[in-house]
Chains A and B, each alone.
Chain A
Amino acid sequence: QKEVEQNSGPLSVPEGAIASLNCTYSDRVSQSFFWYRQYSGKSPELIMSIYSNGDKEDGRFTAQLNKASQYVSLLIRDSQPSDSATYLCAGGDSGTYKYIFGTGTRLKVLA
């Protein structure tokens, strides 16, 4: 099992819909999780961080963490074509200051 696993997609949603991106992680990964958005040819941009069980909302974005199931998700409400990008899930490597990244899910929001 990969330490941080994501479906590569592409995930296609119509404009205005909710996009749901999922990530699972192994025991090696600590309890800090991050979602990054990466446009083609650009560097990743941090959009959400979550450290405890439950939901965290920031504007149109909601991150959800379920430690028992080792599952973290990102919901994007009212999806816009400008949200089309690759979304990277990352977790802290337990006991170190390293970060482990998933391979990313490509999201396409259709106008």
Chain B
Amino acid sequence: DGGITQSPKYLFRKEGQNVTLSCEQNLNHDAMYWYRQDPGQGLRLIYYSQIVNDFQKGDIAEGYSVSREKKESFPLTVTSAQKNPTAFYLCASGDLQNEKLFFGSGTQLSVL
């Protein structure tokens, strides 16, 4: 069953804590992306990666970090430096040939 798997579905962060959101895809896509969505807002790009071991900052990278050690995986760490982390986080992967972007089911992060 092909697709993009995000986990966990819900995540709670304590102040000063780093948390990691998982994203795995088995679509054989080269590109992967992390977006943040706030209520009533559009999607804002945090980080993206076009190839293993390489990634670029998006529009709102401060307070976040990523890694791309495997083609299938692109985890996002929300660090304690991100002072307003409550949001819906969406991972996506893209076929660079036809430029289509597909999303995982999302992770809702809240602050305790």
Contact across chains for B31 and A101 when beta carbons are under 8 A apart: no
Contact across chains for B103 and A44 when beta carbons are under 8 A apart: yes
Q: Which of A61-69, A71-79, A90-98 contacts B (4 or more CB under 8 A)?
A: A90-98
Contact across chains for A45 and B96 when beta carbons are under 8 A apart: no
Say which residue of A32, A98, A104 sits within 8 Å of B58 (CB atoms). Answer: A98
CB distance from A11 to the nearest CB of B (A): 15
Contact across chains for B94 and A88 when beta carbons are under 8 A apart: no
Contact across chains for B100 and A97 when beta carbons are under 8 A apart: no
Query: How many A-B residue pairs lie within 8 Å, measured between CB atoms?
Result: 47
Interface of A is mostly: strand
Does A34 sit at the interface, judged by CB under 8 A? yes
Interface string of A17-49 (1 = CB under 8 A from B): 000000000000000101010000011111001
Once the chains are docked, how many angstroms separate the CA of A45 from the CA of B58? 22
Contact across chains for B45 and A46 when beta carbons are under 8 A apart: no
Interface string of A81-111 (1 = CB under 8 A from B): 0000000101010000111011110000000
Q: How large is the interface on A (under 10, 10 to 19, 20 to 34, 35 or more residues)?
A: 20 to 34
Once the chains are docked, how many angstroms separate the CA of A101 from the CA of B35? 10
Contact across chains for A102 and B94 when beta carbons are under 8 A apart: no
Contact across chains for A103 and B42 when beta carbons are under 8 A apart: yes
* Chain B residues within an 8 Å CB radius of A101: 35, 42-43
Does B50 sit at the interface, judged by CB under 8 A? yes
- Asked whether A97 and B106 contact (CB < 8 A) given A46-B101, A90-B101, A102-B42, the answer is no
Contact across chains for B96 and A97 when beta carbons are under 8 A apart: yes
Contact across chains for B42 and A88 when beta carbons are under 8 A apart: yes
CB distance from A37 to the nearest CB of B (A): 11
Chain A residues near B (Cβ < 8 Å): 8, 32, 34, 36, 42-46, 49, 88, 90, 92, 97-99, 101-104
- Besides the known contacts A32-B99, A97-B96, 16 further A-B residue pairs in the complex with CB atoms under 8 A apart: A8-B40, A42-B105, A44-B43, A45-B103, A88-B43, A92-B99, A97-B31, A97-B94, A98-B33, A98-B45, A98-B58, A99-B45, A99-B101, A101-B35, A103-B40, A104-B42
Q: Across chains A and B, which 7 residue pairs bring their CB atoms closest together, nearest first?
A: A103-B42, A43-B103, A101-B43, A43-B106, A101-B42, A32-B99, A44-B103
